[in-house]
Amino acid sequence: MWGLIIFLAIILGGLLYIIGLFNGLVARRNAARNGFSQIDVQLQRRHDLIPNLVEATRAYMSHEKDTLERVIAARDAAVQAQRNLAASGTYQSPELVEKLGLAEQRLSNSLAQFTAVMEQYPELKADSVVKELMEELGSTENRVGFARQAYNDQVMFYNNACEMFPSNFIAGAFSFKPMKLLVLDDPKTVRSSLRISL
């Protein structure tokens, strides 16, 4: 009788341990997904500011049509990459996360070129709307950087849980797939490129 009770207690303890490992993986995966949703919000804000900035500078930069078009094209590509990843429903597609990172890097590069060209137009530096939009964009870049760091930390914790013993057995049995870190330009570099000298 006592042998059966001990056997059932061991089985129940093992089951509870497995349930705990499974729930821990689910919690870490959901934390990473939530972290990405925070990036998503900040990227959307970034994408919304760029057309306003381009429009505010268009009158001053009429001879820089190519530069303006490159920024808008890069912004549109980044928006599409963001939509494709969101449409996947899980933010776990390594290919789509990488494509988003590359699209955002191209956008950052085009913004840096745009800012360099803006330096050639002193009247832009005096425009209060342009100054305000540049400050908002710089602030948004900070938020993107913080959100990306938080997301990448959560992904690291989740991926570690998927790879470490004994939770790796649960991850494999229940198809917990590793997630990809989001790699963007260094936010300090982007922020410094967005500063126009006043």
pLDDT for the residue 142: 92
In angstroms, the first-to-last Cα distance of the chain is: 85
pLDDT of residue 198: 35
Are the C-beta atoms of 158 and 179 separated by less than 8 Å?
yes
pLDDT of residue 186: 53
Among 132, 103, 101, 116, which residue's Cα sits nearest to residue 67? 116
Which DSSP string corresponds to 88-133? Answer: HSSS--HHHHHHHHHHHHHHHHHHHHHHHHHTT-HHHHH-HHHHHH
Angle value at C-alpha 51, between 50 and 55, nearest 5 degrees: 120
Q: For 141-155, what is each residue's pLDDT tens digit?
A: 999 999 999 999 999
Segments of the chain scoring below 50 in pLDDT: 187, 189-191, 193-194, 196-198
Rounded Cα gap, residues 171 and 177, in angstroms: 7
All residues at 6 or more sequence positions from 152 whose CB lies less than 8 Å from its CB, including other chains: 181, 182
Residue 165's domain spans which residues?
A: 2-194
Look at residues 124, 107, 10 and name the one whose alpha carbon lies nearest to residue 57: 124
Tell me, rounded to whole angstroms, the distance of Cα 98 from its chain centroid.
10
pLDDT digits (tens, 9 = 90+) for 111-132: 999 988 888 888 887 788 988 9
Tell me the longest C-alpha to C-alpha distance in the chain.
91
Q: CA-to-CA distance for 64 and 98, rounded, in angstroms? A: 31
- The kind and range of the H/E element at 138 are helix 128-163
Give the count of domains, the chain. 1
CATH number, domain of 74, equals 1.20.1440.20
